[in-house]
Amino acid sequence: MARTDPHSYYDDAQPRTRHLGLELEVDFEGRCLHGWAMLDLGEPSSGPLDLDTKGLDIFSVEGEEEAEIPFELADEEPVLGRRLRLDLPPGTRRVTIEYSSSPDAIGLQWLDPAQTEGKRQPFLFSHFQPIHARTCIPVQDSPRARVTYRAAITVPKALTAVMSAGSVGEQPGDRPGARTFLFDMPQPIPTYLIALAVGDLDSRDLSPRSRVWAEPRTVEAAAHEFAEIEDMIETAEGLFGPYEWDRYDMIVLPPSFPYGGMENPRLTFLTPTLLAGDRSLVDVVAHELAHSWTGNLVTNANVDHFWLNEGSTVWAERRIVEALHGEDAAVLGWAIGEKALQAEFERFGAEATVTRLRNDLRGTDPDDVFSSIPYEKGSRFMILLERTAGRERFDAFIRRYIEHFRFTSITTEEFMEFVEEELPGVAAEVDAQRWLYETGMPPNAPVFRSDRLEALTALAADFAAGTRPGPEDVASWSPAEMLVYLQHLPRPVEEAACRWLDRNLELTSRGNYEILVEWLAIAAASDYEPAFPRLREVLLRVGRMKYLRPLYKALGGHPRTRALAREVYAAASPGYHELSRRASEAVMDQYPA
């Protein structure tokens, strides 16, 4: 037995799936996927083959020439699900499993027409990270077990299916009123990067290798917002090497999507909260794009090494931002991230084990400890390595790292071995052991400064003493500068001060959700009633966890706002993703009795 992933039954001593074939029908009425998964093992195999499943009904398992293969479903384990063990006869190269997913599969969100922008058709989207592919497909659900895949997805004729794979056409479905979309992903990916969305979709081409998908009511706004994506791709290529996924398409999902984005190769999933109208939030796409190198091309071996994906990608994202907008813009990004990091240390406690980069999450549901720590602490470790080695030397290292490990999944220890080979002595100089294996923030954490940042934080620090920015200051601020100013304001704030902020900074009417949510958190913490209608509107419409956590937390400070939180949550939660419900309830569980 050689299980290398604490969150998977994958055993690397057993045969490994090399290619996955899917023939699935999307059943909106039954809220399930039904069909066949074909596992190509690449070579003749025999003996036990353990797969991950969670909530799947397994109807049959066959080998070549439709020969039945014995199988056994183990008892349910709360985090891992049920192990599906196949007993492969000698010479088995391919296995076909007929199965159906459960209506409550956490890897899928089913939306009624009323929950979409168009209000006419239902919508489905998947989210398999970190360990939810098993709720929709019987697979070796570990990043080490990368697969290529082909898929045939049958949907109602009025709807369109898109996947994290190249489109190879469509054909009539096997039944009247249906059509089947065909896909091919020729590069090997972790199963958590398999992605599917189905709905009333339209698209616009942005460049020869990029397209944006969205509902018809949203697609023009999305095309405007992301029109400059080709410049971002070319900038990233200049930093990290060639883009190896052929296309960089995006899809703007309905507002219940629980994340800002998800880096599914060939089809990045995005929240509609990025559609600010002025392209002020498109740098979020820089993060998802950077994953094309750090995360998708080189992947963490399992969630114990999640910082390798996210810390490296935040570092890469801010290098892209710096190349596009200058050093001051990158410094503001680091400052905004610092606030997120501080909030997470307050949430868990600075000495909590989950504040380490290299974790041991055996027995823990990764969703329960998801936070900004691997992103922000991890990226600070990366830039410390960069500063210590020197930018030119480190940039050359990153390119060699990506080339050396491309299309593989690695551990923290493998990364550090490569660091020592390529940058000898640098790890010891930065005290890498403390960064990786100890809690909290090491004393040598990098500091980010600029005249603009210091001016904004000083102005915010003097707010309680009555100092206010003048109209000329506000007019000159970029959205990031406005956000930094708001983040550094004290809270709660007196009613008159809230009124001044709202009137002079025009906060409640903002379309930029980063600024809007920061303001609404201040207003909620201050029990500022004029902002309640907008706050209610945001909580009812948006399911992004990044926004739900601080808003529900801010509402916990006063009896009236706690009552408002519970009232709004009761109305909003049926439209939230299960992950968003968990996050919101965890916050409200901390309210005083």
Task: Please give the CATH number for the structural domain made up of 208-292.
Answer: 3.30.2010.30
Active-site option among 288, 317, 376, 578: 288
State pLDDT tens for residues 54-98.
999 999 999 988 899 999 999 999 999 999 999 999 999 999 999
Q: Which residues on adjacent β-strands are paired with residue 96?
A: 38, 62
How many other CB atoms are found less than 10 A from the CB of residue 533? 10
pLDDT band at 453 (very low <50, low <70, confident <90, very high): very high
Residue 483 has pLDDT above 90, yes or no: yes
Phi, psi of 582 (to 5 degrees): -60, -45
Q: Identify whether the C-beta of residue 320 lies closer than 8 Å to the C-beta of residue 232.
A: yes
Burial zone of 448 (CB within 10 Å; 0-12 exposed, 13-18 middle, 19+ buried): middle
- pTM check: above 0.95: yes
Q: Identify whether the C-beta of residue 133 lies closer than 8 Å to the C-beta of residue 107.
A: yes
State pLDDT tens for residues 541-554.
999 999 999 999 99
Predicted local confidence at residue 65, as pLDDT: 82
Domain ranges of the chain: 19-200, 208-292, 296-448, 491-588
> Cα-atom radius of gyration of the chain, to the nearest Å?
24
State pLDDT tens for residues 155-166.
999 999 999 999
End-to-end CA distance of the chain: 48
Active-site option among 9, 149, 192, 375: 375
- Percent of the chain residues topping a pLDDT of 90: 98
Predicted local confidence at residue 66, as pLDDT: 83
Burial zone of 38 (CB within 10 Å; 0-12 exposed, 13-18 middle, 19+ buried): middle
Task: Please give the CATH number for the structural domain made up of 296-448.
Answer: 1.10.390.10
The C-alpha atoms of residue 416 and residue 422 are separated, in whole angstroms, by 10
The C-alpha atoms of residue 304 and residue 466 are separated, in whole angstroms, by 47
Residue 283 has pLDDT above 90, yes or no: no
Burial zone of 418 (CB within 10 Å; 0-12 exposed, 13-18 middle, 19+ buried): middle
Q: Identify whether the C-beta of residue 10 lies closer than 8 Å to the C-beta of residue 3.
A: yes
19-200 and 491-588 agree in CATH topology: no
Q: Which residues on adjacent β-strands are paired with residue 536?
A: none
Known catalytic residue: 454? no
Residue 1 has pLDDT above 70, yes or no: no
How many other CB atoms are found less than 10 A from the CB of residue 384? 21
Predicted local confidence at residue 593, as pLDDT: 81
Predicted local confidence at residue 2, as pLDDT: 83
Q: What is 491-588's CATH number, 3.40.50.720, 3.40.50.1820, 1.25.40.320, 2.40.50.180?
A: 1.25.40.320
Predicted local confidence at residue 288, as pLDDT: 97
Q: What is the mean pLDDT of the segment spanning 232-255? A: 98
Place of tokens 């994506």: 229
Q: What is the mean pLDDT of the segment spanning 443-469? A: 96
| Strand spans (E) along 195-334 | 196-199, 202-207, 210-214, 249-252, 261-262, 267-270, 298-300
Q: Identify whether the C-beta of residue 573 lies closer than 8 Å to the C-beta of residue 542.
A: no
Known catalytic residue: 569? no
Predicted local confidence at residue 103, as pLDDT: 98
Tally of CA atoms within 13 A in the half-sphere of 90 that contains its CB: 0
Domain 19-200 falls in which CATH fold? Answer: Immunoglobulin-like (2.60.40)
The C-alpha atoms of residue 275 and residue 492 are separated, in whole angstroms, by 29
The C-alpha atoms of residue 379 and residue 41 are separated, in whole angstroms, by 37
- Percent of the chain residues topping a pLDDT of 70: 100
